[in-house]
Amino acid sequence: MKYYHGAGRRGPYFEGWYLKCQTRDGRALALIPAVHQDRTGRRSASLQVLAEDGAWWLEYPESALQASGELFQIWLDGSLFNRKGIWLNVEGRGLSLHGALQCGPFTPLKSDIMGPFRFLPGMECSHGVISMGHALEGTLTLNGAVLDFAGGTGYVETDRGRSFPSAYLWTQCAWREARCSSLMLSIADIPLAGVSFTGCICAVLYNGREYRLATYRGARVERWSADGAQIRQGIYRLEAERLEGEARLLRAPVEGGMGRTVGESLTACLRYRFWAGRTLLFEHTDRCASFEYAGEENAQTDGGRLTP
C-alpha cells in the first residue's frame, strides 16, 4: 500500500489521513492531518482536531507537512504520526494538545478497499483503510484535560482526490468482543465519465473473519439517509441505524480547497446489524461510533465556521 500520493501533483488535489483514538470508557479524539492544493495552485497543509466538545482547524504552510509514500509516517509542525504511535505538540487559537500515544500492530485489510476502482482515472475521491483497529496506550492533554488511552483502540484511514462527494455517508465502529470487531461503511454519489451512480464500500471484521461488501462485488444500497443505511450483497445484509449523536463541523475539500463544511458525530450512538441469509451474525449498539452524512444541499462552499 502506498501511503502518500501527493508529490508533484498538479491541479486541484487534497490528501488527508483520519486517525481516531478511543478510550476504554468511550471517549474519543480524531486527528486529521492533510495537504491540499486549490484551483489557483495555492498549496497548504492543515490539522483538524475533533473532540466530543469541539472542533479545531489549524492551517500551516505546505512545507510544514512531510509524508512518506512507502511508510505510514507524517510529520506536521512538530507532531508525528506513524505505525508506532502519535506524538503531539499542537498550539492554536483555543487549542492546546500535547502528549504521546503508543500503537499496537495495525490491522490492515486483505486488499485495497477500492478494489478495481483504484485503477480508474478521474476518480473524484479515493478511499483507503490503513488500520481497522489497533491497541493504544498513553495519555494526551487537551486544553488542560487529561485523556487516558490505556487499553484504548485506534483506527486509521485516508482519502485523496479533488473533492469529497457531493453527497455521502460514512460510519465507523470498533468494539472489544468476538476477537475485537470493527467495521467501516461509506456510501457516496460518484461522478464518473459524465454519469453518476451511488456506490458503496464496506469492510466488517468479526469473529476473526473479514467480510467485504462493495459495489464492485455486486453490493446494492437499499437505503441511506441522515438516519443510517442498509446495503445488501448476496446473502449478506448490513444495517446501520443512527440513534443519536451531536455533529461537529469539519472542513472538507472542494476542488482541492478546504471551503466546504460537513458535520461529523465522533461519538454517536448507532446500532449495527449484520445478517448472512436469515442468520443474524451480530447486533451491536455502540455509543462511540462515528457517523457522517452530507447531502447535496451542503455540497458547495458554505458559511460554516470552525475555530481558526
Cell of 276: 448472512
Alpha-carbon distance of 158 to 67, in angstroms, equals: 13
**In the chain, pLDDT over 70 holds for what percent of residues?**
95
| pLDDT, position 17 | 99
Q: In 3-state terms, what secondary structure has residue 298?
A: helix
Q: Distances in Å between the alpha carbon of 301 and those of 35, 124, 195, 253?
A: 18, 17, 23, 9
CB of 291 closer than 8 Å to CB of 264: yes
Q: What is the pLDDT of residues 81-105, one digit of tens each?
A: 999 999 999 999 999 999 999 999 9
Q: What is the pLDDT of residues 180-210, one digit of tens each?
A: 899 999 999 998 878 899 999 999 999 999 9
Q: In 3-state terms, what secondary structure has residue 223?
A: strand
Confidence of residue 297 (pLDDT cuts 50, 70, 90): low
Backbone phi, psi, residue 43, to 5°: -110, 140
Q: Distances in Å between the alpha carbon of 229 and those of 20, 100, 173, 193, 284?
A: 22, 36, 14, 26, 15
- The whole-model pTM stands at 0.94
Looking at beta carbons, which pairs linking 260-264 to residues 24 or more positions away fall under 8 Å?
260/164, 260/298, 260/299, 260/300, 260/301, 260/302, 261/298, 261/302, 261/304, 261/305, 261/306, 262/164, 262/292, 262/294, 262/298, 263/292, 263/293, 263/294, 264/30, 264/50, 264/290, 264/291, 264/292
- Mean of per-residue pLDDT scores for the chain: 94
Confidence of residue 122 (pLDDT cuts 50, 70, 90): confident
**57 closest CA partner among 108, 16, 94, 28:** 94
| pLDDT, position 308 | 39
What is the number of alpha carbons within 13 Å of residue 196 lying toward its C-beta? 9
| pLDDT, position 303 | 34
Q: What share of the chain is helix, strand, coil (3-state, %, to 5)?
A: 5, 65, 30
What mean pLDDT is predicted for residues 131-141? 98
Instruction: Give CA torsion, residues 223, 185, 196, 257, to 10 deg.
Output: 130
